[in-house]
Amino acid sequence: MRDINGDLRVFPGRASAKLTAEVCRFLDCEVGASRTTTFPDGEIMVKIDEDVRGRDVYVIASTCEPVNDNLMELLIYVDCLRRASAGRITLVIPYFGYARQDRKDEGRVPITAKLVANLITAAGTDRVLAIDLHAAQIQGFFDLPVDHLSATPVFVDYFKDLKRKGELKDLCLVSPDVGNVKVAESMANRLGGELAIINKKRLSGSAVETGNLIGSVENRTVLMFDDIISTAGTVTEAAKLLKENGAKEIIAAATHPVLVGPAVERLSRPEISRVVVCNTIPLPERVNPLKPKLVELSVGPLLGQAIHRIHHNESVSELFRNTAGPKR
């Protein structure tokens, strides 16, 4: 019988081809050979072009825009691998879309995060590896092992380097909403800064209203942390409030650059001096005007290490021993 740890194969979803290539370079393996085609009517077909029988297979696929196509592609990938007799299928989902509908906060609404978890399970997935899920409890929506990574080590390395260069003086970490306080707090501990919190109220998909600021940001360099920047309503409204309260400089950081609708125009405004994001979602051309103040950090090595550990049945939480772990 073939040893499940013997052979590792890593395949790319179309939205994550560049990131997959980076992960494969880290793992020193070839990107798995496959072809994904879209038929004229919009149906998707995946064809695996190499033997995967009994192998330990990873598919790296963010369910970012176009969300429904990327989600369907990922499900079809799993079905294809299952029928090709893969030994174990791990879905690596750097950005898990549909995560923000994670509870019934009013009557007659769906819980799409649970629905997507059900679809992924039903397709035949064996385990899931994700980064900064919008809410930690989404792990429990899967009746499968889920390894939940945090991008904080990637951010900590980048910001520590800036500190070494003499930037980020008088630092204050700000959580632009109460949901992200723990992450901002652990970043404040890691980077050595104060903590402040903003109380946010969402008015619609793209409009938010900021309430109170808890803590002082006067003459501070503010580092704002969120999991997602989507329409950028949250961070730009927060930035206005921080400026009114005397912040010297404002940097916005988020793991997942969804960046849709008015995001580019909003983030181009002068209140925010720098936007730091990860490559869990590929940056589309429409964000080019933001490039002068946009920094893209790579989660490739982090995913590579996690895959290496899963493949060799080693602890994944060890990766976070000396840094802020994922949201709990």
Catalytic residues: 200
Chain residues 91-130 in contact with ligand R5P, contact rule CB under 6 A: 100
Query: Whose Cβ is closer to ligand R5P: residue 57's or residue 239's?
Result: 239
Query: Whose Cβ is closer to ligand R5P: residue 228's or residue 250's?
Result: 228
Among 54, 124, 179, 325, contact with ligand R5P (rule: CB under 6 A): 179
Chain residues 180-219 in contact with ligand R5P, contact rule CB under 6 A: 180, 206, 208
We find the least distance from the C-beta atom of residue 263 to ligand R5P, in angstroms, to be 7
Among 22, 227, 249, 271, contact with ligand R5P (rule: CB under 6 A): 227
Is residue 150 within the footprint of ligand R5P (CB under 6 A)?
Answer: no
| Residue range at the interface with ligand R5P (CB under 6 A); choices 125-133, 143-151, 227-235, 306-314 | 227-235
Is residue 175 within the footprint of ligand R5P (CB under 6 A)?
Answer: no
| Residue range at the interface with ligand R5P (CB under 6 A); choices 172-180, 189-197, 277-285, 286-294 | 172-180
Is residue 231 within the footprint of ligand R5P (CB under 6 A)?
Answer: yes
Query: Whose Cβ is closer to ligand R5P: residue 134's or residue 311's?
Result: 134
We find the least distance from the C-beta atom of residue 238 to ligand R5P, in angstroms, to be 9
Is residue 262 within the footprint of ligand R5P (CB under 6 A)?
Answer: no
- Beta partners for 54? none
Q: CB count, 10 Å around CB of 157? A: 12
Is residue 177 within the footprint of ligand R5P (CB under 6 A)?
Answer: yes
Among 92, 187, 229, 310, contact with ligand R5P (rule: CB under 6 A): 229
Q: Which residues of this protein are in contact with ligand R5P, per CB under 6 A?
A: 100, 177, 179-180, 206, 208, 226-234
